[in-house]
Structure 1
Amino acid sequence: MRTTKSFVLMLIFPLFVLGCAASKNSDGLSMNPTIYYKPTIHQNKAKCSNGNLRDLLSPDGYTLVTLCDADYKQCLMQGSCFVEDEGKITSYNYHSTKEKIPRFIEVDLNTCPYGYGVRSSCLDPYFSAAADLKYYNAGDVIYVPRLVGAVMPNGEVHDGYIVIRDSGGGVLGANRFDFFTGFFNHLAKENTLARLGFGDPKNSFEFRLANEEEAQATRQRRNYPGLKRSILEEGKL
């Protein structure tokens, strides 16, 4: 009888340990992720008729740059874009909507090369995400086990912690996150998060909200709301 009980315990104990580990890692929460990035628009390659041109307007209504309609929509959808014209790179970021027209600002490449999120925080590629601010606050940190140990394009190994630095119109609900992946879209083979499946909202990944100690350490490590110097250096074009 004792042998039978011991055998049963041997079967149950590993399952108990695994269950505790899963709970510790994710708190039983799951997300449906997507990916967004910062596109580069090359004016010399743009092909469209004068009737398909759109002005990128400043908050004061001044024209910052004129783009093909498709490029304009891409810049608006991603929230920011680079525009390259005869070798000069300019960074633009969505600012607000005035009189039902989206407004943009020019961004200093030396400060936030990848653009701004909310609360004037700089977007941090692979380590930041947009979330529904009805459920999360800017600066909150989530832990995603799936990311731990993944090697980023710059050689950095992910620790699984993501800072909420942005929001988005299509990011609705407590289980929706839009991960920022720098210059790489969801189709780029260099995009580590895309290879892991984060570009498809049909996928589901475990996550949990980091505790305050973890969150503070992560914000300090990633230099929130700014960027690490190494990120600033690699972001210069």
Structure 2
Amino acid sequence: MANNGEGKQNEVSRHQEVGHKSLLQSDALYQYILETSVYPREPESMKELREITAKHPWNLMTTSADEGQFLSMLLKLINAKNTMEIGVFTGYSLLATALALPEDGKILAMDINRENYELGLPVIEKAGLAHKIDFREGPALPALDQMIEDGKYHGSFDFIFVDADKDNYLNYHKRLIELVKVGGVIGYDNTLWNGSVVAPPDAPLRKYVRYYRDFVLELNKALAADPRIEICMLPVGDGIPICRRVS
């Protein structure tokens, strides 16, 4: 019995590690989902990029395979054509989006690190999807401010996905709500922050986990109170609220 209890405790500990890409109660159940419904349908290009990213020292930053599958399905359901992605890393979610969009679909992709994006770019090019992507290196907030000032981008995006600096999520939302169309969708990644959003005050959290948790909590509270959107928080990956603009 003692060994069994120790095993369960180890399992709980694993789920407390930031970067574990599921909030499910067991690793085995998550693996079952991956092996039965995600990996068998994962496009070869996404598998290749996922394996390349796994070798990156910051591989925990990547979008999980099940979340990539979900984003692809969502984009097709809403017939998205003009999209934006803030926070690209090596481009796994970007590739999922590019595959889901029609041939003339477009993605405005922003990230402060071109080097990571270029790691996955050969896979995107080999898949014949590079023409859908407009990659811009640099901080997103000034670019968003310029787009709002220009005026022509208001309500022009069908879908926006944010997986970037959590301390600016609320700043992003204040701008993106003007750029997404009425009926369009915004998704913010990592908004359950590996479950730390419900951790007790004295919980032993890593410094950066505790620091960013406050910003995630602030965003979640703001989204719930925003009358311009409908929301649905999904425990996919590390938590992603689907925010549909209604006004």
- The answer to whether the superposition gives a TM-score over 0.5 is no
TM-score, scaled relative to structure 2: 0.28
More helix by proportion, 1 or 2? 2
TM-score, scaled relative to structure 1: 0.29
Higher alpha-carbon Rg: 1
More strand by proportion, 1 or 2? 1
Q: Which has the higher contact order (CA 8 A, sep 6+)?
A: 1
